[in-house]
Amino acid sequence: MKDTHVWIIDDDVMLTFYVKRLCELNKGHLISTFPTAKPAIEKLLSSLDDPASLPDIILLDIYMPVTTGWDFLKFFREIKASLPKKVDLYVISSSIHPSDRQRALADDNVIRYLEKPLTMEMISELYR
């Protein structure tokens, strides 16, 4: 069975720790964490020629300082055609504001909008 590589892009250290642990409990998964979108963008760019280092799943917070999740989504749209493999992108947010949900889901690259706190059931569904 191939390991699933998950990127968690979120500035909330406690939430990142919690979500990482939920992913680890799904056994055999590689998890990379990024405290803001900027290093994730840099890693994505440096991985374009190496599909094995690209994530299978991205969990993206939308509200982070400096480079936001919205900025990441814009960048992802611009380079998606260059990616050598399919990457599933999920927005994770504590925002329950309908406009945030609508804006995220209006992006064709976003599979689902997941409200924090995430649960084991929510994480398990990502691997199906």
Please say if the pLDDT value at position 53 is more than 60.
Answer: yes
- For residue 101, the one-letter residue type is R
Please say if the pLDDT value at position 128 is more than 80.
Answer: no
Report the C-alpha gap between 54 and 102 in whole angstroms.
27
pLDDT at 1: 47
- Report residue 29's pLDDT band, with 50, 70 and 90 as the boundaries: confident
Judge contact between 72 and 9, C-beta under 8 A: yes
Share of the chain above pLDDT 90, in %: 84
User: Whole-model pTM?
Assistant: 0.95
Q: DSSP strand E in 1-128: where? A: 4-9, 29-34, 57-61, 88-93, 110-115
Q: Which domains does the chain have, with CATH numbers?
A: 4-61+75-91+107-126 (3.40.50.2300)
